[in-house]
Structure 1
Amino acid sequence: MIHPTAVIDPSASIGTGVSIGAYSIIGAEVEIGDGTEIGPHVVITGPTRIGRDNRIFQFASIGAEPQDIKFAGERTELIIGDRNLFRENVTVNRGTGFGGGITRIGNDNWFLAYVHIAHDCQVGNHTIFSSYSGLAGHVRVDDWAIFSSYAGAHQFSRIGTHAFIGMSCLAHADVAPYMILSKDTEQHGRIRSINLTGLKRHGFSSERIALLKRAYRILFRSGLSLEEARAQLDALDAESQDIRELLDFIAGSERSLVR
């Protein structure tokens, strides 16, 4: 299961049923969970913890030092959950001491070719990053979010659950849950609609979708100030978990909200 040309540091911990391809390098303080498949020419640098049943394809670089000029060699980590897919040439960096110290990736995510996840990012579960998309440092991406090809997120921004970032679009601030961000100017994007296809695909009822359409019109098409829109959302349906998700996201926004 481990190719004879692979180089594995004695301090690395390799689980049961792990396969490691030709010329791959597993560095010090790397933990790899059971059933994980690592292709040829992969470099994994520690401290990095990788869970079970992940697949890492050729030429990926996982756990390298953060690409931040302020990093001074302090001990930081990368923590990856279970059943993630990392395709060719994906790069994922460890955290920084001033940014919390940990880059964290959850479970069941897909990172397609040439995706970059920078230092101190927090990625949830069931996300998809299409080829050539990427995150700057300190970005939070919630569950079920999707990045199209060549899309990106500015540092310290947040991407809400079930949000969809369109092709070649930059999320320059926080993107609300359930919404589609599509290209507006050469660099930035704007909220166009709710992520109708994604919500239907994940079993949202017609009633939930209708309520989110109303919330979209209040928040992005009414011309109300953010505070006025929040008040109307609060009155829309206090029992709706989806509306509560929107309100909590807005309340926690430190950067600003793309509107």
Structure 2
Amino acid sequence: MTTAAAAYLDLLGVHRSPPDRALLDRIVTAHNATIPFENLDPFTGVDPPTTSDGIAAKLVHARRGGWCFEHNRLLHDVLADLGYRVTPLVGRVRLGLAPADAPASRTHRFTLVDTIEGRFTVDAGFGSTVPTTALQLVAGPEQPTPQATYRYARVDHGGWVLQRRGSGGWADQYVFDLVPVPDVDFAMGSWYLAHHPGSHFRTGLVAARTTPRRRTTLDGTRLTVRTADGTAQRHDLTSPARVRDALEEHLGIDTGGVAGLEERLREVYFR
């Protein structure tokens, strides 16, 4: 096991064991509980890292989070180091689209994992509705997690769609196929979302962290803490200082090295 993988497991509080489904679930659950989802880099005009070393330096050693290109590159690399057979995949995000079948870009990274117990997907970078365990890649069966229930369905041309059951019924999260994706495509997707004028990662602040007991999300200036029983507490943050405090205290993000954060918050939310 590499030093980087050992540091990652130490951060998560997970002990190494044979590469099976049980370890996979422990890692995914602990990753989502420990390393937050956040877009502070693109929000403040900084290109997020795309290399393994750069991502580990930020997410493992600097008490920061990131988006899917960072979380799922880190998770993919560690799982490979632990002996899992992994395949990097990309999806087209459907969540929030209007209409629901509108065209979407291939900008969500996640990982396919083959084990002796079957084929699974793992995802640590889908923000406020991320699955917090591995999901078996089979069409139809409902797969409950502590926060929500998911299922896979088949779509045209041999593709798949991940669906999540919410208060309004089943909603598509993203569609994908099983063609392995090279690093250059993820680097291009990261650059696109960090620079395109229409990217919501540039124009608004989002952050999330999900433990087995609660899911904490920050959407602009609205902080929501939702417990496993569905109870939600919402707080409207009234100043850049309160937003920074929420990022630090509720999401576990060290904002000290994020240059220009308060100025950017004032520009977007407190003019």
- Superposition TM-score, scaled by structure 1 size: 0.24
Rg (Cα) greater in structure: 1
Greater helix fraction, Structure 1 or Structure 2: 2
The higher-RCO structure (CA 8 Å, 6+ apart) is 2
